[in-house]
Amino acid sequence: MVSVYIPSPLRRLTGGQTHITAAARSVRDLLDELDRAFPGMRAELRDETGEVRSFINTFVNGTEIRQLRGLDTPLAETDEVSIIPAMAGGH
């Protein structure tokens, strides 16, 4: 099972869980599974075309998926996925 880190802003959808596990063969499958398990997740993570929103950074084993194969990045059972929304603010 893939291990997924859930950031604070999305934990309201996961009942407060910080980490979950999911069976998925690609990042696309994982995001689809997250939305099945936690309705509303898709709207938070993906735009109307199905792509990951520009302000959402998704890492597989520390590498951002845009540097890999995007949504088609393959996943293995031992992989760790982190979903990190970009932070805004500053001076």
Beta-strand runs (E) in the chain = 2-5, 19-22, 56-60, 63-64, 80-85
**pLDDT for position 80:** 98
The rounded distance, in Å, linking the Cα atoms of 34 and 46 is 12
Kindly report the pTM of this predicted structure: 0.91
User: One digit per residue, pLDDT tens: the chain, 91 residues?
Assistant: 999 999 999 999 999 999 999 999 999 999 999 999 999 999 999 999 999 999 999 999 999 999 999 999 999 999 999 999 987 655 5
* Res 91: pLDDT: 54
Q: Do residues 58 and 27 lie in contact, with contact meaning Cβ atoms separated by under 8 Å?
A: yes
